[in-house]
Amino acid sequence: MAHHSGNSLVGSSSLFPWTAAGLLELLASGLEGCPNLELEFSLRLGGGNLQSAGRFACWVNGKSAEDFAPLRRVLDCMGAPASMLAAQQNHQLAVRQAIAVAVDPDHAGAGTEFKLYLHGRDPVTLADRYHAWRWRPGSAPRTSEYVFHFMPETPSGVRPIQFVSEELRPAFARLLECPRLLQMSGFWLRYGEHGKIDQFDIALPWHPQAGSVQGLPELVQALGVPETAFAFWRELPIRHIATSVGAVSPLVTLYASASLIGSFPPTEEALQACVRESSRITQRAIEEEILQPVELLGPQESQPDLGTFRDLGSFYDGPIETWEAVLGPEMHYHAGIFESSYMNSSDEAMARAQRRAVTDLYPFLPAGGRIYDIGCGWGGPLEMFIRDLGCPSLGLTISRRQFEHVAACRLPVRWGDAETTLPPGQFDAIVLLESLSHIRDKERLLKLLRLFTRRLVMRVNCQDSLPPGTTFGGSMHMISSTRLHEMLEAAGWNIIHWRDRRREAVPSVAVWHRRLQSLPPAGDRHLEVFRAWCERVMTFSHDWATHNPLIEVVAERG
């Protein structure tokens, strides 16, 4: 039997009694003193039963190998396979790691399953990567990979509802229509060793109480779980809902997780109480600081319907080959910043200018910080933020075709409308590179973004000589630079940088005009609108530049 003394772990793992109490004692001893620990436990529903004991995890947050060394010692004491120990030690760009256990109360020891979770970042794209190893004492480990997708679907059109068994489908359909889920979150797909999806996991980052999640009470009923068994857990704030794919008998697991407050709980009952209390604190904070202020903003002035979303999205779709011919191989759909206003329309000058349009923003962006790129287009700037600044970044585009392309480049991206989705969490900076003009209710968005970032970095196409109106095929809702300034201040932003970059940017039109002239009419509405716009600007470029500033603005939350 293993014995614990202070922070040391002594004993033979093969003789360790794999009970919930013994494992908690091991975790408490091995991880004592680790900062930023998170605890988790889960409820297993299925077959008419609710299993509430024997399933828990401990997450360690960190950045260096030293941060995760205590977890390695715990794994070693558990008798983890050598391949797992090597994976844990060599974990690239680690963000957090966890040990999870599932104890079968009827077969303590042989019935215990262990899991190692490794959350890191892709070394090239800095996208989140989750891998897991599962093993039982004396058995070889099984591996799996988790891939996250924002609602409503993956780039290939996969939706979680298609994995749900017939008897659970009505309840899951209702759950997946939850407005907050659609606005700010999504789902994980778990791929087993043979690349087959064997589980999906719905993420609920606002920690709602289980009884308040639409569709969940119906799901509990469909699983045959008695209301008396579920009643005790109705007020439990939950973080994930997972279900097996292709199982003979459907199983659903509810996960609750929260930061550890105080000392490590000595019993499973104490662990659950700790998670309950801490997650309630998190839930209240998210409600008060994010969700209630969002609701106070009310709906946007002219709420678009699904048809409007699809129409605007399809306007910006188009064959990738065509747009590569117009935009260049780096796929920057924004004006370049040239060294002078001289109309140098060479491809080489344009490539330099478009890269400069991004790099000129670098002094305002925190190296290594999280960036949300609203209106990321075909992903050119997004790739530069990640490559040059080491910023874990996420792009948002309304175009389905752009979404597919950016995802194919393995860059983190979501598909949606900036006015009907919410930034998924806190960001060090939010960037709108020539995308604010596509927003209908600019005042509401500028107020909303203050809830999710301290810094706003934008380059905005403005129209000073004409009253507000739509242009560019009705996709751009123009305002003056004066009105932009007023909106930012009214929304509570402090402007720290303001500069008109139009004179340096106008040569971009000459490049686009030349490239578009080489393309025959193709019946693409976006392409023809772009062609006509370039023709008009080229006719009186000096006057147009004078009356249509391109405002570079950086603002901080007041």
* Partner residues linked to 191 by β-bridges: 145, 197
Q: How far is CA 514 from CA 246, 326, 511, 518, 538, in A?
A: 55, 9, 5, 7, 11
Q: What is the pLDDT along the chain (558 residues), one digit of tens a residue?
A: 233 333 344 344 444 556 788 889 999 999 987 888 999 999 999 999 999 999 999 999 998 888 999 999 999 988 899 999 999 999 989 999 999 999 876 555 557 899 999 999 999 999 999 999 999 887 889 999 999 999 999 999 999 999 999 999 999 999 999 999 999 999 999 999 889 999 999 999 999 999 999 999 999 999 999 999 999 999 999 999 999 998 888 999 999 999 999 999 999 999 999 999 999 999 999 999 999 999 999 876 544 444 555 566 778 888 889 999 999 999 999 999 998 766 667 899 999 999 999 999 999 999 999 999 999 999 999 999 999 999 999 999 999 999 999 999 999 999 999 999 999 999 999 999 999 999 999 999 999 999 999 999 999 999 998 888 899 988 899 999 999 999 999 999 999 999 999 999 999 999 999 999 999 887 888 899 999 999 999 999 889 999 999 999 999 998
Exposure letters 436-460 (e unless 16+ CB within 10 A, then b): bbbbbbbbbbbbbbbbbbebbbbbb
372, 413, 314, 463: CA torsion to nearest 10: 20
Residue 438's nearest CA partner among 464, 409, 416, 460 is 460
DSSP annotation string for 151-211? SS--TT---GGGGS-GGGHHHHHHHHT-HHHHHH-EEEEEE-TTS-EEEEEEE-TT--BGG
Residue 194 has a pLDDT of: 87
Torsion sign, CA atoms 326, 331, 335, 339: negative
Q: Where in the chain is the domain with CATH 3.40.50.150?
A: 298-557
Cα distances from 13 to residues 3, 197, 301, in angstroms, run 11, 33, 63
- Dihedral over Cα of 228, 280, 171, 223: its sign: negative
Tokens of 488: 């930012």
Cβ atoms of 215 and 172 closer than 8 Å: yes
Specify which residues 453 forms β-bridges with.
Answer: 427
Place of tokens 């004492």: 137
Q: Where are the beta strands (DSSP E) in 224-380?
A: 240-244, 252-259, 371-374
101-134 burial, b at 16+ Cβ within 10 Å, e below that, comes to: bbbeeeeeeeebbbbbbbbbbbeebbbbbbebbb
Give the global pTM: 0.92
Burial of 184 (0-12, 13-18, 19+ CB in 10 A): buried
Q: Tell me 279's DSSP state.
A: H
Can you give the C-alpha Rg of the chain in angstroms? 26
pLDDT for 63 equals 85
DSSP code for 445: H
CA nearest 137: which of 45, 26, 13, 220? Answer: 13
> What's residue 226's pLDDT?
95
- Taken as a whole, the chain contains a residue count of 558
- Report the topology of domain 298-557: Rossmann fold (3.40.50)
Query: How far apart (Å, rounded) are the C-alpha atoms in residues 31 and 24?
Result: 10
- Cα separation of 534 and 531, whole Å? 5
